[in-house]
Chains A and B, each alone.
Chain A
Amino acid sequence: MTLFLQQLLNGLSLGAIYALIALGYTMVYGTLQLINFAHGEVYMMGAFAALYIARYTGVADNPTLPGVAMVAVGAMTACAILGMLIERLAYRPLRNASRLNMLITAIGMSLLLQNIALLSFGALQNFPSLLPETQWKVIGVAVRSNDLVILGVTLSLMVALTVIVERTQIGRAMRAVSHSRDAAALMGIPVDRVVAFTFALGSVLAGAAAFLVAMDKHSVRPDMGMTGGLKAFVAAVLGGIGSIPGAVAGGLLLGLAETFVSGYLASTYRDAIAFLLLIGILLYRPAGLFGKSTVEKV
């Protein structure tokens, strides 16, 4: 029983990380119907940004609460700027081209950023422990403070995003752009600004995820966006891409699936079995858990 509870917690902590990254995928897709493959790389760049900010401001050696908050905000700002730059330089010129062109550009962007990171940061680097880490034993289960922080941040960001999209002026504009870009423009909605905001918001999420993951895993590496991004993408699709609660549900489900396959079946086939499960779910619900099936008008 203890073993089961421990694995459940392991799965939730892993799933929360996937969910956090998946939120950014889903934000951009929800507005633009673009799978932004560069999202994983924005996340990776955010981790390096956090590392260098922490190093150069001395927070790495002497972490204080305001200092740590500054590192987190710095990483999120860096990501927002990068996200908007990518949108402005790579995606906006193609906005009216076929969707396939954008998708290929996104993949190209992802490779470009990854190689820039390889060249400029080299390799794996150690990330300092910024928040005090504690852990508790609750009925034999190791509960880590970092897991609780990540799970808490993920859930609160999910709520915050839902509020932004459903309850605010800019959120309404985002939904309008998502519904029909041309009609929104005719109604006087500044589409470019709304799209830029969407990218900034999605990238801020990547920055938050990067900061938390780097701190929890004590390391940053140029390929972290690839592995993390791929899993998060799958999580977003599983939950129903475009749906904010769906991204969180998908992330948690993927984390739990991987953990229980590792824990109870065979860790050697972890990815194979976990992904087979996902294919099974998508066969029954092609739009994902929270996705709405739409009829394509011809």
Chain B
Amino acid sequence: MPIASTLLATLLAGCSGGTSDTKEIVIGQYGSLTGTSATFGLSTANGVAIATEEQNAKGGIGGVQIRMVVEDDQSKAEEAATAVNKILSRDRPVAVLGEVSSSRSLAAAPLLQAAGVPMISPSSTSPKVTEVGDYIFRVCFIDPFQGTAVAQFAYNSKNIRNVAILKDVKNDYSVGLAEYFTTTFTGLGGAIVGEEAYSEGDFDFKAQLTNLVSKNPEALFLPGYYTEVGLIARQARELGFTGIFLGGDGWDSDKLVEIGQDAIAGAFYTNHYSVDDPNPEVQSFIKKYQAKFNATPDGLAALGYDSAKILYMAMEEVAKNPEHAAAFADRSGVPATEGARKAARAALRERLAQVTGYPGVTGTITIDAQRNAQKPAVVVEVTKTGPKFVESISPDGSSRKSVGGDAPAAAPVGGDAPAAAPVGGDAPPAPQEAAPAAAK
């Protein structure tokens, strides 16, 4: 249980500080460390931990060490709001990272927006999340694009014309993704032959699946989380479904194959990165992650890493202004310095909004006017030994079938000044060696 013990250490570290007058900069993080979708939160926290360790090894932000405070939301939306309230009132963070699930990000984002604390969601893909306000950012693509990518893949690459959908009706992400998929897929000329719903926590999907399977779809689109998808796949096969399963990034967990077994093998889903990617950024991250956690990082770990890296990069630049640097490390909580703290966070928000062409593990990240990241999606195939790269789909609609590097990058958004490009001070880690594939 190396993951659990590391987390425990992080949590304990979070409890011990506080009263001492050692200078530190506190960053909050909320996520699902326990509960139904626990692997989401655990992977993200691991990715963030690596980024924080690296930053602290470099001397933190302006010479002050970063302390990451992690709160568990038990995979529940109402707990996400509680966790963030706790972080805000107890720890006075400069910024907050989280959540994976869009429903949980949506529960907490209004609190952070009202408090004027920048939030970066590593991997919430519902467009509603960043619509909450100008302090809410994300480093992943959004569902309208993800839905388009799956639909294009199904129609163009797999020649599928009839699809049935089974979605989680209580999950903003799932409902949204189903809708965007439908729009693109029918626009291309495909047909949605049936659409049914379930609720998170269900364990029996046979009623809905019997209906869907009777309509003979070539593929079943399951825009849900891995917790239910594995089971749905098994029950669909038991009811005689022989077509292809398609899904989105909510599938990204080792548990998917553990539960779905043979039924889910050969299915395809869109994700944020692929471990097969020979890009040195990617391979160096995988190496670091394996060394520390003895596991292959999933997309959520990679996004957690990228979100923290971008935050620290922006903070470093803002901290060049000594007033802001002092405000970042100010943990006194006295009203006299509240203005300076607010100004520093506002400056951080400004800087985050200008991130352009950041070379992340999950692709080149450019924050657009809606505070979303513009970047390609990767289609992977589920195999019993882990996800396998199939193709990469860019926001402009072009696709790339080779695993090759991310060279042509996402088309630059609007006339962005090249000056803002690859971010000062943050020299990409030298690729030790370009390992062709991650050893599992």
Contact = CB atoms under 8 A, between A and B. Distances in A.
B206 A223 contact: no
Interface string A248-269: 0000000000111011001110
A53 B199 CA distance: 30
Nearest to A2: B214
A119 interface: yes
B238 interface: yes
Interface in A262-294: 262-263, 266-268, 270-271
B238 A126 contact: no
Contacts of A223: 35-36, 201
Candidate in A7, A135, A213, A267 with the most chain B CB atoms within 10 angstroms: A267
B271 interface: no
B207 A126 contact: no
Interface string B369-409: 00000000000000000000000000000000000000000
A11 B207 contact: yes
A209 to B, nearest CB: 12
Interface string B189-216: 0000000111101111011101100100
A254 B258 CA distance: 30
B258 to A, nearest CB: 4
Contacts of B258: 126
Nearest to B253: A124
Nearest to A228: B203
A219 B201 contact: no
A221 interface: yes
Given A219-B230, A268-B197, A126 B74 contact: no
Contacts of A13: 204, 206
Given A126-B255, A126-B259, A223-B36, A267 B210 contact: no
B17 interface: no
Interface residues of B, number: 36
| Chain A: interface size category | 35 or more
Candidate in B37, B75, B261 with the most chain A CB atoms within 10 angstroms: B75
Contact of B210 (A7, A123, A124): A7
A187 to B, nearest CB: 45
A260 B259 CA distance: 27
Contacts of B234: 218
Interface string B227-248: 1001100100011100000000
A223 B34 CA distance: 11
Contacts of B259: 124, 126, 218-219
A128 to B, nearest CB: 10
B433 to A, nearest CB: 35
Contacts of A126: 255, 258-259
A14 B230 contact: no
A160 interface: no
B429 to A, nearest CB: 31
B231 A217 contact: yes
B169 interface: yes
Contact of A10 (B39, B75, B207): B207
Nearest to A3: B214
Contacts of B214: 3
Given A262-B196, A267-B197, A10 B34 contact: no
A271 B199 contact: yes
B38 interface: yes
A218 B206 contact: no
A119 B214 CA distance: 42
Contact of B227 (A14, A124, A213, A268): A124
Interface string A57-91: 00000000000000000000000000000000000
Contacts of B196: 262, 267
A7 B38 contact: no
A222 interface: yes
Given A3-B214, A7-B207, A262-B207, A144 B238 contact: yes
A142 B238 contact: yes
A6 interface: yes
Contacts of B34: 118-119, 122-123, 222
A284 to B, nearest CB: 26
B345 to A, nearest CB: 33
A258 B207 contact: yes
A259 B35 contact: no
Contact of B38 (A3, A123, A218, A267): A123
Contacts of A266: 197
Contacts of B421: none
Interface string A217-232: 1110111101110000
Contacts of B420: none
Contacts of B230: 218-219
Nearest to A261: B207
Contacts of B204: 10, 13-14, 17, 217
B38 to A, nearest CB: 3
B12 interface: no
Contacts of B210: 3, 6-7, 10, 263
Contacts of B211: 3, 262-263, 267
B4 interface: yes
B4 A124 contact: no
A3 to B, nearest CB: 6
A13 B227 CA distance: 21
A268 B210 CA distance: 15
A296 B131 CA distance: 57
Nearest to A144: B238
8 contacts: A119-B34, A123-B38, A142-B240, A217-B203, A224-B201, A267-B208, A270-B197, A270-B207
Interface of B: 4, 33-39, 74-75, 169, 196-199, 201-204, 206-208, 210-211, 214, 227, 230-231, 234, 238-240, 255, 258-259, 261
Q: Shortest 4 CB-CB distances between A and B: which pairs?
A: A123-B38, A262-B207, A126-B258, A10-B206
Given A123-B34, A124-B255, 6 more contacts: A118-B34, A124-B38, A144-B238, A217-B204, A218-B231, A267-B211
